[in-house]
Amino acid sequence: MDRYRISEGAHLDLRSMDTRDTSAYPSLSKKKAVPVLAQMRRELADLQRVMWADGNHALLVVLQAMDTGGKDGTIRKVLSGVNPQGVDVTGFGVPTEEEMKHDYLWRIHRHAPAKGRIAVFNRSHYEDVLIVRVNNLVPRVRWSNRYDHIRGFERLLTDEGTTIVKIMLHISLDEQKERLEARLADPSKNYKFNPNDLDARAQWDEYMTAYEDAITETSTSYAPWFVVPADRKWYRNLVVTQTLIDTLKGLNLSYPVSDHDLSDVTVN
């Protein structure tokens, strides 16, 4: 999945990227992807099981996207199948009153994964250089310093045993229109429609610029960003699942050896 990894210091131009790309699985289609994803999920579940038993590594998956970009759907499709005992999903919405009294990484840090576990952030500290920037919630001098904080924070986590994968699900403006209209048209999906989403949609260009800067500034060797084409949900699911599989495989996980001398033990 290296094709979607953003190299440190690379120039990123989101608007020139093909959000309908399927080049990693050119022979697959929505239908043909079903058994492939099922197989990948089994592989991911097996890897997570070893990771949990091994207990020496933590995995943090950061998911960011524009509204309707597929964060919830990705979590459901990619991670259903993994033992929920080893996975913690945290959604970061508007900060609470208490959270606002702290620095913006305070509420994030407490949800960092313990060893043996996977943490998934549905939105994250990146909102503090995205929505916060686009809506001028703090002055430029404050949000522009945050890239540095974030690099430092993610360096801390990785130095202390956490592997970080950051994923932007990249959809087009047209695809978002279709998805929003689908939510309006289907009464059973109405509840997902939030009129505020239209405000962010009207700021699409500002958001793309904010994403480009954030990803460029914080895609590092130790905490890389992946920009995943996400107009086609089946493709997005395969790419995200395979990215997590590759990441866990890279950890060389194994079932641990017992701490105890069991040679003389009998069960009565």
Which segment (22-30, 84-92, 157-165, 209-217) binds its own copies by CB under 8 A?
84-92
Task: Count other C-beta atoms under 10 Å from residue 159's C-beta.
Answer: 9
Q: Kindly state whether residue 45 participates in binding its own copies, applying the rule CB under 8 A.
A: yes
Rounded least distance, CB 45 to its own copies, Å: 6
Binding residue (CB under 8 A) for its own copies from 14, 36, 81, 245: 81
Q: Kindly state whether residue 152 participates in binding its own copies, applying the rule CB under 8 A.
A: no
Which segment (98-106, 123-131, 175-183, 234-242) binds its own copies by CB under 8 A?
175-183
Taking every pair of C-alpha atoms in the chain, what is the biggest distance, in angstroms? Answer: 71
The distance from CA 236 to its chain's CA centroid, rounded to whole angstroms, is: 12
Question: Considering CB under 8 A, how many residues would be counted as binding its own copies?
Answer: 42
* Owner of token pair 């950061």: 62
Which of 84, 152 has the CB closer to its own copies? 84
Which segment (26-34, 205-213, 229-237, 253-261) binds its own copies by CB under 8 A?
253-261
- Rounded to 10 degrees, the C-alpha dihedral 155/159/160/165 comes to 60
Footprint (CB under 8 A) of its own copies, residues 176-215: 177, 180-181, 184, 188, 190-191, 193-195, 198, 201-202
Q: Kindly state whether residue 79 participates in binding its own copies, applying the rule CB under 8 A.
A: yes
- Both tokens assigned to 203: 């700021």
Which segment (4-12, 73-81, 146-154, 224-232) binds its own copies by CB under 8 A?
73-81
Rounded least distance, CB 173 to its own copies, Å: 10
**Cβ(139)–Cβ(34) under 8 Å?**
no
**Cβ(168)–Cβ(212) under 8 Å?**
no
**Cβ(166)–Cβ(127) under 8 Å?**
no
Q: Kindly state whether residue 256 participates in binding its own copies, applying the rule CB under 8 A.
A: yes
- Both tokens assigned to 250: 């890279």
Angle ∠(223,72,132) on CA atoms, nearest 5: 60
SS3 118: strand
Q: Which residues, 6+ apart, have CB-to-CB distance to 227 below 8 Å?
A: 4, 6, 12, 14, 17, 168, 170, 215
User: Which positions touch its own copies (CB under 8 A)?
Assistant: 45, 49, 53, 72, 75-76, 79-85, 87-89, 91, 120, 122, 177, 180-181, 184, 188, 190-191, 193-195, 198, 201-202, 255-260, 262, 265, 267-268
